[in-house]
Every structure is written in C-alpha cells, then in structure tokens.
Structure 1
C-alpha cells in the first residue's frame, strides 16, 4: 500500500521500523528469528523480517494501540489559545489515547498574568510515536479560528518572554498572507515542528555548565499564529546576539534562520519574500520586540 505521508514523515516511519527491528537484546528470540545453534559467539541469528514486522505496531499503522516508541532528544509540550475558545475545551477530535497532562508549575508573576490564564496546556510527549498521535488528532493551522495560536515548547518552558529560558533570547519569524498560503501553511508548520523536535535547527549544542547532564540547543519552542489576513510561524531561541558583527553568537543564530528559510520552508537562499502583508524571515530579540520598532535591529535570513 502506498504511503500518504509527506516525505519527511514517511522517512521517519521507515527509520522507526528499522530501529525497532534492530533494537532487540541478544538474549531474546522474538517471533521470526531462527536460531540454528551453529552461530559463533556474538553472531546474530537469521531474522525473518516479515514475521518481525507483523508484531510491530507503530503510530503510522495503529494510531491508538501502537507498541513501539522511539524517544526524542527532549520532551515537548503543546499549548493552545484562542479568543474564540476562552473557557472552553480545545477544538480537536477526541484524544482518548493520551492521558491528561498535569498542570504546569507556576510561571513567573508577569507570565502568569493576562493571556497565561487562558492558554491551554494540551499534552506533553517525548517520543516520535506520541508526536504523530498528537498531530493526527488536532486541527491544522489552516482550519483554526482567527487569533488562535499553537505553541510547541520544550517541557518545563512556558511560552512567554518572561520565562527564564526565553527572557535573554529572541525569535525568527515569517509572516505569510493568508489567502496565498492557506494550502501550504499546514505543511510549513508540520516541517517546523519536525525540525524542532528533531533538533535540526541548531546543530551546535552547548552545555549550561560542566555539570549539565546533556547538551542544550538554543531552540526553546516554535509557534504558529493565525490572524485575519496572515499566518505567522516563529522559532524562539534561548539567547539573542548583540548588535555588533563581532558577536560570536551571531553566526549560530544566522544559521538557524538559513535552515528555517531553505530546508524547512523550502525557499531559495536568495529569495526575497517581503511584500504586502508578507515579511522576510527575520530575527528580533525579545527585548527589541518590546520596543515596538523603536531602535530595533533585525537580522534577515
């Protein structure tokens, strides 16, 4: 049967299946493996791949009862808000396969005020399969009401400037006229999420301190917003460069924007995207965003 998944998703499906087939302890003999008794120490037995595959249920073949999970580098949380749904349930098809997500820890006093009272914490996940189970059960951006937002952030980070992980950072963003991009915004948002959870935006991972348990990416989250006349897709970063060309952080930030523009959104490196209701792929620190254009200095991908 031909796959109806987009190429990155189909590739992920094949990779997940291959990993599942390979990830078996030597002490086990799953269905389909034939031990002849003549294997040398450390030699793998012959494997009936077809029989093995029949015992594996990924989210691609069984969205509800999958039995294979492949962990992501970091756990993530999806948030949602919309003026049209304040005080109501998230507009989505039933998600009975997913348990309720516990309430988040209390954010900073500024972030807790105003819009944070209406934002909905949908669910947290930490595997490829759970991501696809979530994605298959929520409304795509093209069908969301006006002024709605999806926020996909690393677990433990509140999607607000005031969060400690965000307050020294900024965002890459692009604004797309709605009528011209209604048919492609869902794909753009999907590829943005895949790049985020796959940790492909920031290829240089750093440690906060020598005692940190694992390297950390500059990326804290990604957002898609619907407005009356346009869509906006954003990538939030943990840090923002200064306004001097000598800033060592600047090349790293610029590489994120280039990857976003060319590999994720699919534009040519030299493409000019600005126009009526449209912007280039632009970076602005959160501090400059608060200035509302007064003295703010953008980086263009």
Structure 2
C-alpha cells in the first residue's frame, strides 16, 4: 500500500524507525534464523517505540528530528548593528553567516548591509534550540527587528519572491502589550514554519504540481511606543484578481487575527498607536496618502 504521508512526515517516520532499530541490542543470532519452519516472526512495536526519543520526550538527548516543509533563516538588526562590522547583538551566541547571493541582494545592498543573518534551520528541534537562546521581543532595544524568512529569500522588497507581494501587519501599543508580544511573536513564527497561514504547499493545482505558499516571511519590530508584527506574501491581489489571490490573502489575514493573535473576527483594534490587521501591497506601500489600497479584516 502506498504511503499517505507527506514527504517530510514520511522522512520523519523513516528516521524514527531507523533510530529505534539502531537502539536495539545486537544479537549473534537473527530473529529470522531462530524461527521454526512456517512460523511468522512477531514484531515488538512497543520495544521499537521505546527507543524513539523526540524533543518532546527528551529535550536534551533526542535522537529523532521532525523536518519542516521548508528551511527558514532568522535575520536581525538594531541600532547597534548599523554600520558596524562586529556588532554586539542579543543573538551573538550564534555564528554570523554571509548573506546569500539572491537576485534581490544587489538592489537591496544598502538595506542589507545592516541586517545580520543569524542562523538557518529545517527542523522543529532546531527551531526550539534557536528560540530558547535568543532574547524575546519584549527585551529587545528600541528600533530592533527580527526577520524570519524562508531560506533563500532576503527580507527586502527587492527579492524576487517579495517584489510582487505585500504584507499583513498590525501595530500594538507598547505599554499595553509588553506582557504578550513574546507569545504573539512565537505563535506567528509557529504558524509560519508550520505552514498554517496558507496551507497551499500541501495542496496541488489539479495537475499534480504543488502550489507555492503565499508566505515568504514574518517580522517583529520594536519601536519606542509600539510593536509591529508583519507577514510577508509573495503575491498581492491585482485590480481584476482573475487568479483568486485576494481570497487566499484574506484567509491569511483572518487566520493571523483570530487563530494566531487571538482576537475575535469582527473585533475593532484601531486606536491610539494601534491599527487593525491590515494588508498593503509593497507597491502601494511606496505610495503616500489615500491612493494606497488596504485590505482590513
């Protein structure tokens, strides 16, 4: 029977089985050799399962990794990183790695000079290892930013994956949200790496070709009076919207507002230093005034 598991899940299953079998003691006589003619070998599934240690059952000595659908990269900048080759940043526990040569790097060179690439990861375990060793947003200096983007995509409008897209964002007053911004950022990252904002990567367009997820990255920004959370998408609705992108974009925003941030769907959030959950294309972001067209959920 063909497996019904997705590729990453199937890889994790195989890795778990291999790890479990590797933990079993070796014997000079194989089980098959000890069978009587016509006897069927019994498999001790419990014994195999006992050898599997995940990050959830053994956080320090796990032997199984749970692969993500896509690898991700964390980036960081703050006033301390600007114009300095060896900045003292709150993520200094991780080695700095060079910026990848993607099509958008040259166009965004000035912007990218101050952003430091922290580390890439492609499993649940590596994500938690990273998360548990960086300073949370509530303790970051003012004007600092974390950018979590899919591997190979830089956090700049000029990147090929971003140039035709936009972003969902919400602005939250700093004094009222200092105690919950860390949880909001964690849930935003988990929704991104878990592909729950836009589940299309596990779907098909009807021809057997996987549909690319709309999500390219997520950002948290700290400012003197507010926090901002953003979700970047690779596409934005067109004037005609013949491809139905608007419906998918709106689905991302509703999931962000209700399932990730925990607000009611119709709840009004705007106020002093606060905004609704709003979508704006990157092209419209460059426009000033009322000509920019927002989608609000």
Give the TM-score band, short-chain normalised: 0.7 to 0.9
In the aligned structure 2, how far is the partner of 1:284 from the partner of 1:129?
Answer: 34
| Shift in Å, 1:20 | 6.6
Q: Secondary structure at the match of 2:21?
A: coil
| Shift in Å, 1:57 | 5.5
* 1:141-161 Cα shifts (integer Å, max 9, x gaps): 000000000000000001000
Q: What RMSD over aligned residues (CA atoms) do the two structures have, in Å?
A: 3.2
In the aligned structure 1, how far is the partner of 2:122 from the partner of 2:271?
Answer: 39
2:122 equivalent in structure 1: 126
In the aligned structure 2, how far is the partner of 1:21 from the partner of 1:258?
Answer: 36
* 1:68-113 Cα shifts (integer Å, max 9, x gaps): 2111000000000111333203213634xxx653542154432112
Q: Does 1:202 align with 2:198?
A: yes
1:298 equivalent in structure 2: 294
In the aligned structure 2, how far is the partner of 1:78 from the partner of 1:128?
Answer: 14
Are the structure 2 counterparts of residues 245 and 189 from structure 1 closer, same or farther at C-alpha, using a change threshold of 3 Å?
same
2:150 equivalent in structure 1: 154
Which of 178, 185, 188 is equivalent to 1:189?
Answer: 185
Q: Does 1:28 align with 2:21?
A: yes
In the aligned structure 1, how far is the partner of 2:45 from the partner of 2:112?
Answer: 56
2:106 equivalent in structure 1: 109
Which of 126, 132, 136 is equivalent to 2:132?
Answer: 136
**8 Å CA contact 1:220, 1:237 repeated in 2:** yes
Q: Does 1:48 align with 2:47?
A: yes
Deviating more after overlay: 86-95 vs 44-53: 44-53
Are the structure 2 counterparts of residues 60 and 272 from structure 1 closer, same or farther at C-alpha, using a change threshold of 3 Å?
farther
In the aligned structure 2, how far is the partner of 1:51 from the partner of 1:27?
Answer: 7
* 1:135-191 Cα shifts (integer Å, max 9, x gaps): 001000000000000000000001000111000000000000000000000000000
In the aligned structure 1, how far is the partner of 2:19 from the partner of 2:271?
Answer: 59
In the aligned structure 1, how far is the partner of 2:67 from the partner of 2:190?
Answer: 14
Q: Secondary structure at the match of 1:187?
A: helix
Are the structure 2 counterparts of residues 292 and 110 from structure 1 closer, same or farther at C-alpha, using a change threshold of 3 Å?
farther
TM (normalized to structure 1)? 0.80
Could you say which structure has the larger radius of gyration? Answer: 2
**8 Å CA contact 2:96, 2:116 repeated in 1:** no
In the aligned structure 1, how far is the partner of 2:19 from the partner of 2:136?
Answer: 43
**8 Å CA contact 1:32, 1:50 repeated in 2:** no
Which of 269, 274, 296 is equivalent to 1:278?
Answer: 274
Q: Secondary structure at the match of 1:262?
A: helix
In the aligned structure 2, how far is the partner of 1:269 from the partner of 1:32?
Answer: 55
Are the structure 2 counterparts of residues 280 and 28 from structure 1 closer, same or farther at C-alpha, using a change threshold of 3 Å?
same
In the aligned structure 2, how far is the partner of 1:181 from the partner of 1:48?
Answer: 48
In the aligned structure 1, how far is the partner of 2:258 from the partner of 2:288?
Answer: 28
Q: Which structure 1 residue ranges, 4+ long, deviate > 6 Å from structure 2?
A: 19-22
Deviating more after overlay: 214-223 vs 23-32: 23-32
TM (normalized to structure 2)? 0.81
1:12 equivalent in structure 2: none
Unaligned runs of 5+ in 2: 1-8
| Shift in Å, 1:249 | 1.1
Q: Secondary structure at the match of 1:174?
A: strand
